[in-house]
Every structure is written in C-alpha cells, then in structure tokens.
Amino acid sequence: MWSRTFAGLVLGFFAAIAVCGAIAYMTPAGWQTAAIPVIALFPLVWLGLFAVVYASRTAARAWVGIGATTVVAWAALLLARTVW
C-alpha cells in the first residue's frame, strides 16, 4: 500500500507533468497558447495514473508499470520539445 502510494505520488507526478508538457508542445499554435489548459489537465492525469497504480497485482509491478510510463512520457516531452 505505502509502496504503491509512493510510486503514484512521485513517479505519477513526473509522468503526468511530462505528458501534459508534451501535449502543450504538440498543439499547432505553440505551447504558449496551451499552457493553462495543460496545467488544468494535470491534476486529472496525475490522479488517474495514481489510481491505476493500485490496480497492479504486486507493488513491484506497480513500480515497473509507472516507471515505464514515466520514461515514455519524458521521452515524449523531450522529443516534442525539440521537434516542435
């Protein structure tokens, strides 16, 4: 329980912020025009990822799952930032 909570709290935060940042960079008019909408989206994404963590069979799987999500999200953010 505590292990999952910690994973959702920390990794979930970093995954969600990267996803939202990536979305902002991918909007056609530039991230400046979408900054407030993606910040508004952030709590929803964070809580969503946070909640999914508890569905995993074991805490180790939860860490692997949310860890992989975080890595993918950051890759997407860095890619979106350089490409757009």
Residues near another protein (CB under 8 A): 1, 4, 14, 17-18, 20-22, 24, 31-40, 42-44, 46-48, 50-51, 54-55, 77, 81
Q: Tell the residue number behind the tokens 């996803």, with chain if given.
A: 19
Please give the distance of CA 45 from its chain centroid, rounded to a whole number.
Answer: 7
Distance CA 63, CA 21 (A): 22
* Closer to another protein by Cβ: residue 43 or 75: 43
- Token pair, residue 18, equals 């990267």
Q: Are 14 and 66 in contact (CB under 8 A)?
A: no
